[in-house]
Amino acid sequence: MLSKPELIESSPYFTGLVAAELEAVSRLMFEKQCERGEIILFEGEAAGALYFIASGAVKIFKTSADGKEQILTIVRPGEAFNEVPVFNGGINPASAQAMTPVALYGISRQDVESILRSYPQVALNVIKVMAKRLRNLVSLVEDLSFRRVIGRVAKILLEYVTDGATPGARLSQRDMAAIAGTAREVVSRSLKALEEEGIIRMDRHRIIVKDKTALQEMAGSSI
């Protein structure tokens, strides 16, 4: 588990602060323990605090109108979440749930504003972090606009499917993400969507292609 000093020193938000300033930030942090499955933040609620993970993993997700969960990212030790609503006000754009027992350090919104006013270096660091995020999001928009990932995942399944009699190459979701040029979470959603459509069935370590024709249509090819 990361200690508070380790978290603060390794965070990109606090780069360049001297020891006394880091200590001042540390005093503003509160501890929070969460059990596996506990909802830390609800989408749509007013943002209360910026959180840093000392141990465990947290999933950030949105719930669609029909109740489906879409995981946006997984946050791990040393990383932070809930920055956007804390920095620019407004409600939580997504929910956060503990995937394991989680230890967090939080800074309230008011204290974050106080830190930004007191230590301009932190504000500069925030700008750099947000700019990098924006760059990644632009890339994601391009991906979503011009390339349908589910079609690429369908194409990958078609390329690697076998009749089961002779063993073929086995692919993890991470492998599929690398081949498709997307994030693992997007592949996971694509496989779930294909399963819900009845095109494939996930059976432990096997992906069973039930409707090859539909998969071909999805892939937009005639393999």
Partner 1 sequence: MRLSPQIDSNKCNGCGLCVSICLQHGLVIVNNVVVVVEGVECDWCAQCEAVCITGAISCPYEIVLEI
* Binding region for partner 1 (CB under 8 A): 56-57, 74, 76-77, 99-101, 157, 160-164, 167-168, 170-175, 184-185, 188, 201, 204-210, 212
Residue 53: burial class (beta carbons within 10 Å; 0-12, 13-18, 19+) = buried
Closest to partner 1 by CB, 109 vs 189, is 189
CB of 171 to partner 1, least distance (A): 6
Sequence-ordered list of residues with C-beta below 8 angstroms from that of 118, at least 6 positions apart, any chain = 24
Nearest approach, Cβ of 63 to partner 1 (angstroms)?
19
Least CB distance from residue 155 to partner 1, whole Å? 12
Nearer of residues 44 and 168 to partner 1, judged by Cβ? 168
Query: C-beta of 117: minimal distance to partner 1 in Å?
Result: 34
| Whole-angstrom distance, CA of residue 26 vs CA of residue 22 | 6
Residue 195 in tokens: 């399963």
The CA distance from 108 to 138, in Å, is 29
Pairing state of beta strands 200-203 and 30-34?
unpaired
